[in-house]
Structure formats: C-alpha cells, structure tokens
Amino acid sequence: MYRIGMFSKLGKTTIKTLRYYDEVGLLTPAYVNEENGYHYYATDQLFKKYRFPLKSKD
C-alpha cells in the first residue's frame, strides 16, 4: 500500500486531485487510518483502465 503522496507521484497526479476523486467517489482510498487520517492506496488501483495509466521511461 502507498500513502497518498507516493501514490500521487506514481500516478502522475496531485494529492489535491486524489482528494477530489475521493470526494466525488471516483477513486477512494483502499484504507484510511482513523488515528492520523492518512490515506492509503493499493497497487492495483494504479492499473485501473480509466484512472492513472503508467508511462514507460523510454
């Protein structure tokens, strides 16, 4: 699992965008820690067809 900052970098988006996606129900975190509020995303969420395609480093 990735915290929101690392997930945003891997998905080539911003934390603000991820929080918006969560707000509108487009992409919700796999887990939110109740104690500190950290948002965690799973690896498979990066590979969703219409979400965040990974770009090759060619």
Which pLDDT tens digit goes with each residue over 14-53? 999 999 989 998 889 999 999 999 999 998 888 774 455 5
Does residue 10 lie in a domain region? yes
Q: Is residue 39 part of a domain?
A: yes
The total domain count for the chain is 1
In a domain, 55, yes or no: no
Q: Most distant CA pair in the chain: distance in Å? A: 41
| 21 assigned to some structural domain | yes
- Whether 26 is covered by a domain: the verdict is yes
Distance CA 36, CA 47 (A): 27
Distance CA 56, CA 34 (A): 35
31 HSE (CA, 13 A, CB side): 9
Is the Cα dihedral 34, 36, 39, 43 positive or negative? negative
Instruction: CATH number of the domain at 24, please.
Output: 1.10.1660.10
Q: What is the pLDDT of residues 31-41, one digit of tens each?
A: 999 999 999 99
Entry pTM? 0.75
The answer to the question of residue 24 being in a domain is yes
Domain range spanning residue 24? 2-47
